[in-house]
Amino acid sequence: MTTTESRGLAVVTGASAGIGAATAHALHEAGYTVLAASRRLNTEEPAATGITHHHLDVTDADSVAALAQTVTDHPQPLTLLVNNAGIPTPAATIADSDIADWHATYDTNVVGSLRTSQALLPQLIDNRGHIVFLGSTVGRVAYERGAAYAASKHALTAMVQTLRLELNGEPVRITEVAPGMMRGDERGGEFMRARFGNDQTAIDAVYQGIENPLVPADIAEIIVWCATRPPHVDIDLLEVRPLAQASQNKVHRTA
């Protein structure tokens, strides 16, 4: 049920699908005015949902500047930024990796979050706001054939931790939400399709025997919970895995 309480403006990047789309809807239900920013605009969603869609490419400085201007001109004060935009890399060993994939991943997953945070930070400070970064459990523990993505999430974690130190004393909360094994839809989600080049057999093998991996709605609910704590409560880091995943490399599979 949508609350009648106004919580200000929330900007969600990478909001066209998956965690971003689920978070945009969950925040709207929680009482935020939502600006869903993404490279691919959702033109099919009815305006009645109360979510405004905005084109954003976090790798483009002009695009980020345009977002900042839109936020400045918005009648609602900016109180929340969810840095969710990110891309995976194809499954490859370090020896066989394409350097271009590493550059693209770092520019989106790390520098993209830097760009949006820098652009919107003055307004977030003025409005006693909150920044939520979407990390990953691979930001702490790597795995084979995933070095580029893991490296980007390690870097993101370092940036989040540094920002928390640098903003100590300012009225801005900083949170990293780090999900473990997720499944975006019945086919594995866009992330897994990009990682394995739409090889459905490889995608299915990842989830073989896994009961109930995380889904985007799980993470969206967690983000809303973090954002709606009292202003003096800062959830620095929240790691979340499905019950079947005890660690990055230990997963219970049914027969």
Q: Could you list the active site residues?
A: 149
- Lookup: tokens for 91: 């499954």
**Spatial separation of the C-alpha atoms in residues 240 and 111, rounded to whole Å:** 24
* 186 neighbors 140 (Cβ within 8 angstroms): no
Q: What is the 3-state secondary structure (H, E, C) of 94-131?
A: CCCCCHHHHHHHHHHHHHHHHHHHHHHHHHHHHCCCEE
What residue type is 26 in one-letter code? A
229: its two tokens: 């704590």
Q: How many angstroms separate the CA atoms of 85 and 8, rounded?
A: 21
Distance CA 228, CA 231 (A): 8
Burial of 233 (0-12, 13-18, 19+ CB in 10 A): exposed
**Torsion from C-alpha of 120, 121, 124, 126, nearest 10 degrees:** -110
Residue 179, number of CB atoms within 10 A of its CB: 22
| Residues 182, 219: Cα–Cα separation, whole Å | 10
